[in-house]
């Protein structure tokens, strides 16, 4: 399966400075969606800037198994011949989502509207992640599921003869659950509405052109059953979650200046930038523009002395959920107490990220208080280099790779190959910035 790795260690020494101009891979969230929406569109779509990492490749392979023709052209673009809402075919085997929660959860919405049953599973990490959050709303629409006893993958999806439109209020902010319900809503009888109490990533509604409104302080996104999806040319901007690692690296390492090109500035993705700027980070946004409906720009980052915002909680947590590990690293080298609350969903990622962050911070000599929904600590001087564990999680591996650059002496990060899930050349770029 795609998510099983060899265990490789990387020794990382203290960096004197980081200098250079870099481009980061295409946005992972948008890459997934571009493949999915192209597959159920009418006509041929092209995707420029696609993220060639393990997770989006899992999405491609799933749709190939569903009968969609996908190939690269001479311009290194992905070309997909869409077959419309009902053009998918029953796969001859279990679909393999690899390590990708986005793949399994979003595709479940599409599979709920087909005329055949499908089984989908993933790697040793994915089959531990909770799926009840999509099973519950899709069951309300008439879908029947078979799953492991604890509501995890493998999932077998049995669509009804006719999906029922629902109005569903998200128990917790989740772009994946929202997207699964909206994609099922394309096949439903009537208008499906998803209600958000807190905003989450809005790529699905932006890319499908869905209606969104505000009522009583809540966001309501709606989709008409039978709405056609049309082929288009997609441009994938740089992934802000990937950029976050180099933003923090440039802030922490003295005498550093790094320019990060073509980064998505979607407001639902830039909460980490706002936090780092409030902490005193010298981050300038240059060359702001729009491409394919997404705001993009370049990030010019210079080393800075950071001071922590004491408590981060509330509405901003869904916006920064993927960046919390690297924000914790930034906070470890800053001043004042740092506390994250309301982030219990971090325990349901590729690994339990609250435990993983706390475990590695303790190895740096920091006294961390761990909560069910977050953690708190007071930074200290003379932090320790050590041997850090990735826990098979790409964001933990990269976050503590950055921490290792800022520590004196030499550290080791174990299991660094898992960075390939979202950022295949991460370690290469990190080495080049030090030359």
| Locus of tokens 């009418």 | 42
Q: Which of 219, 211, 216 is nearest to 268 (CA)?
A: 219
Annotated catalytic residue 322: yes
H or E element at residue 39: helix 28-39
At a CB cut-off of 8 Å and minimum separation 6, what does 210 contact? 182, 204, 221, 222, 223
Distance from CA of residue 314 to its chain's centroid?
Answer: 19
H or E element at residue 134: helix 132-140
Q: Is the dihedral of CA 290, 291, 295, 300 positive or negative?
A: negative
Pairing mode, strands 410-414 and 9-13? antiparallel
Query: What is the C-alpha radius of gyration for the chain, rounded to an integer number of angstroms?
Result: 21
Residues in the chain: 435
Q: At 122, is the secondary structure helix, strand, or coil? A: coil
d(CA 419, CA 412) in angstroms, rounded, equals 15
Q: Which of 62, 95, 96, 67 is nearest to 81 (CA)?
A: 67
d(CA 161, CA 266) in angstroms, rounded, equals 38
What the block records as the tokens of 132 is 């009840």
Residue 134 near residue 101 (C-beta atoms within 8 A): no
Distance from CA of residue 330 to its chain's centroid?
Answer: 20
Of 65, 239, 298, 322, catalytic: 322
Question: Which residues carry out catalysis?
Answer: 322
């Amino acid at each position: 399966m795609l998510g099983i790795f060899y265990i490789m260690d990387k020794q990382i020494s203290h960096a004197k400075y980081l200098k250079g101009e870099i481009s980061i891979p295409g946005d992972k969230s948008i890459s997934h969606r571009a493949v999915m929406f192209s597959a159920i569109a009418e006509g041929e779509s092209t995707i420029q800037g696609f993220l060639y990492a393990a997770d989006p490749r899992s999405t491609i392979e799933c749709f190939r198994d569903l009968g969609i023709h996908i190939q690269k052209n001479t311009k290194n673009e992905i070309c997909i011949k869409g077959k419309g809402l009902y053009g998918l075919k029953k796969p001859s085997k279990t679909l393999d989502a690899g390590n990708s929660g986005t793949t399994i959860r979003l595709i479940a919405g599409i599979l709920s509207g087909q005329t055949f049953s499908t089984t989908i599973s993933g790697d040793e990490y994915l089959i531990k992640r909770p799926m009840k959050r999509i099973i519950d709303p899709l069951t309300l629409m008439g879908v029947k599921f078979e799953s492991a006893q604890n509501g995890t993958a493998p999932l077998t999806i049995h669509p009804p003869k006719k999906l029922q439109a629902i109005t569903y209020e998200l128990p917790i902010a989740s772009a994946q659950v929202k997207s699964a319900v909206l994609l099922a809503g394309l096949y439903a009888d009537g208008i499906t509405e998803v209600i958000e109490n807190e905003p989450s990533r809005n790529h699905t509604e932006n890319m499908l052109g869905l209606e969104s409104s505000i009522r009583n302080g809540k966001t309501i996104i709606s989709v008409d059953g039978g709405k056609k999806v049309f082929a288009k040319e997609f441009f994938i901007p740089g992934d802000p979650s990937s950029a976050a690692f180099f933003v923090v690296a440039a802030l922490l390492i003295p005498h550093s200046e790094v320019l990060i090109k073509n980064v998505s500035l979607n407001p639902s993705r830039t909460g980490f930038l706002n936090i780092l700027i409030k902490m005193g980070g010298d981050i300038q946004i240059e060359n702001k523009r729009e491409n394919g409906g997404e705001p993009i720009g370049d990030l010019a980052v210079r080393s800075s002395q950071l001071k922590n915002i004491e408590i981060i909680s509330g509405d901003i947590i869904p916006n920064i959920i993927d960046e919390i590990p690297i924000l914790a690293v930034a906070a470890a080298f800053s001043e004042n107490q740092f506390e994250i609350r309301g982030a219990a969903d971090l325990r349901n990622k590729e690994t339990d990220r609250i435990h993983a962050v706390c475990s590695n911070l303790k190895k740096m000599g920091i006294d961390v208080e761990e909560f069910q929904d977050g953690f708190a600590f007071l930074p200290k001087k003379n932090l320790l280099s050590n041997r850090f564990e990735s826990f098979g999680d790409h964001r933990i591996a990269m976050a503590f790779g950055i921490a290792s650059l800022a520590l004196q002496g030499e550290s080791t990060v174990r299991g660094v190959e898992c960075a390939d899930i979202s950022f295949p050349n991460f370690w290469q770029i990190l080495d080049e910035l030090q030359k």
